[in-house]
Structure 1
């Protein structure tokens, strides 16, 4: 006889309790239904109709418990086939070893061409003159020319005021003297091959009138037309061309002339300055026409006008 397990013993005790409870409930139900019929005329016989529902309920419960006991007994008696586990060999899937990667040559990636002309490299600094001459005025750009004029007036005892870029309202330099409360204004025009005409001088007269000034100075590295000179003389404008400017510089001491020469040759004196933002311009190659031009290094943030290299001294 096989030895029972603990679980089997618990199930057997449970089945015994079900059978005992089912038998007891059935016996009680029969007593409640049968006994009052044999005891007519007594108290129990009188209570017979009231005890019948309880008797039937006890019979039903007892029958249910006995039926449950019968089902559990049949289940315990039926043999259970134990599953047979078949061990299968574990087969590991092996991945095929890929062939070694062959490095394929790649085509070089070409940088996209800029939509705007690219700036050229910095040009070598032109040879600097050791003495003042017309060649110095021709070599410097417009901003150095204005700085030269301002330094020259400062040596003469004036207190000067100017701005390096932006709209100046037609006035490049303000002059203040301790001998007069009325300021003077100066317009500088760094031109070479083009003479200053009466149109430019007339515009300067309009600037003087807007500030209620009766006199002013117009300085150029070039010359004035005869009509412009006549108009300037008739309207209190002191016209000073390149020759007169060099003569005025020649009247300074040797040390003062050297100081003015240092101002003219300061920094990249040959490279134009953007009149809008004050940044040095860069050389660009045109894609629409032949030749190169000077353009602002801050383009497109700055929309300052460009200057053809062939006309660098005739546009400012």
Structure 2
């Protein structure tokens, strides 16, 4: 308003010649300029005060995400992916063991197939369980040097123990050589009787030597006949002993660990070897027949 008054004082007298205001024009010019300057100052002061009173404008206003569109995660960089644990999809393929190392079909009742399927250590455990059912107190060891004795039998009816030698052979017959070695073990313990058990058969010479030297020779057929005389419950227990664990995979006679299938660089065939080789140098066993290691 003050600036408008100043403009009127400066410009108005020039349009009113001959009137009192026109004659007062020169006298009103200083007042007009003062009013115009005061108006300009007041306008500048008003603009400055209004700028301070109003909040500053945001250069980058924050935009709220729309409720209609869910926000998508930002793509991760290769560095982020490298720090994250990989998520692996479950594999649908399973490794199939070789036919020679796979578990044979289990029989539901006793037969020669059971004796053929189990390894030598299971055969010894079977014999020990059978004698335990007969009332003997048994003692054996799973591996290491046994001095030619696989099982010690103690009876409450006698102070003299009885020793048992077990030979898990498939088709090879136990000969007189093996029988003589067992007789030597009996003599070293000052024993006049012993039992020799095999899953196969005995030669005629071996049977004759056993009869003359107090050795009870028991082949696979006689062993199955003895098992058949047990109750059904006892037979089930013996079958569980025979099929315990990896019953088809031979045990290392030296360290007692299960053997693994290995390939021969010379013959190109396969055989059972100790898993702890070369730390353990136990005997190898033919892949086709998991017979006794000795």
With the length of structure 1 as denominator, give the TM-score of the two structures: 0.61
1:223-234 to 2 correspondence within 5 Å?
A: 223-234=201-212
Aligned to 2:197: 219
Is 1:206 the counterpart of 2:173? The answer is no
Matched, 1:260 2:238: yes
Match of 2:135 among 157, 164, 174: 157
Partner Cα separation in structure 2 for residue 176 and residue 273 of structure 1? 26
1:189 aligns with 2:198: no
CA–CA separation in structure 2 for the residues paired with 1:190 and 1:276: 17
Q: What SS is found at the alignment partner of 1:148?
A: helix
Aligned to 2:62: none
3-state SS of paired residue (1:266): coil
Distance 1:180 1:173, change over 3 A: same
Residue of structure 2 aligned with 1:291, choices 269, 275, 278: 269
Q: Structure 1: how far apart are the matches of 2:288 and 2:123?
A: 18
CA apart distance, 1:310: 2.5
Change (3 A) 1:315 1:276: closer
The alignment's C-alpha RMSD in Å is 1.3
Mapped partners of 1:151, 1:314: distance in 2: 18
Structure 2 unaligned blocks of 5 or more: 1-95
Q: Distance in 1 between matches of 2:286 and 2:103?
A: 19
Q: 1:223-273 CA deviation, whole Å, 9 max, x = no partner?
A: 000110010000000000000000000000000000000000000000000
- The match for 1:19 is none
The equivalent of 1:125 in structure 2 is 103
Write the deviation string for residues 170-207 of structure 1: whole angstroms up to 9, x where unpaired.
Answer: 00000000000000000000011100000100110000
Aligned-pair distance for 1:127? 1.1
Give, in whole Å, the separation in 1 of the partners of 2:126 and 2:256.
17
- Counterpart Cα distance in 1 of 2:169 and 2:209: 19
Unpaired runs of at least 5, structure 1: 1-119
Partner Cα separation in structure 2 for residue 315 and residue 226 of structure 1: 23
Distance 1:250 1:191 in 2: 21
- Quote the offset at 1:315 in angstroms: 4.5
SS of equivalent residue, structure 1 residue 181: coil
Contact map agreement 2:170 2:289 (CA 8 A) in 1: no
Looking at structure 2, the residues matched to 228 and 308 of structure 1 have their Cα atoms a distance apart, in angstroms, of: 24
Q: How many residues align?
A: 197
Q: Distance in 2 between matches of 1:254 and 1:226?
A: 34
SS in 2 for 1:132: coil
What corresponds to 2:144 in structure 1?
166
In structure 1, distance between residues paired with 2:169 and 2:293: 7
User: TM (normalized to structure 2)?
Assistant: 0.65
CA distance in 2, matches of 1:144, 1:307: 15
C-alpha separation in 1, matches of 2:276 and 2:292: 23
